Amino acid sequence: GRDGAAWYHQRGTVTIDYINSDTNVTKSYPNKCYGFSIVNDGSNDITAVINGLTITVKANESFDSLFKPFTSIAINATNTPYRAVIKE
């Protein structure tokens, strides 16, 4: 690291994917991911499934969290616009 300091990379802080959609999306990633954020820009609830955990995001709300390692995500948002980022 700089000036002799140990280099440290906090997991779940580097964005590797950005999703801007209004439909259901299922994605897989070759590397372990640790962070997920989503903003629901619509008027209906949406859900995201990570490691078998279903997260409901209400209309005009957001969600941001770190997780145990995951390599896939499913977002269920038929006709509801949202923006999401996946982080490793």
Q: How confident is the model at residue 1 (pLDDT cuts 50, 70, 90)?
A: low
pLDDT tens-place string over residues 54-72: 999 999 999 999 999 999 9
The pTM (predicted TM-score) of the whole model is 0.88
Per-residue buried b or exposed e for 45-69, using 16+ beta carbons within 10 Å of the residue's own CB = ebebebeeeeeebeeeeebeeebee
pLDDT tens-place string over residues 25-39: 999 999 999 999 999
φ, ψ of residue 3 to 5 degrees: the values are: 55, 30
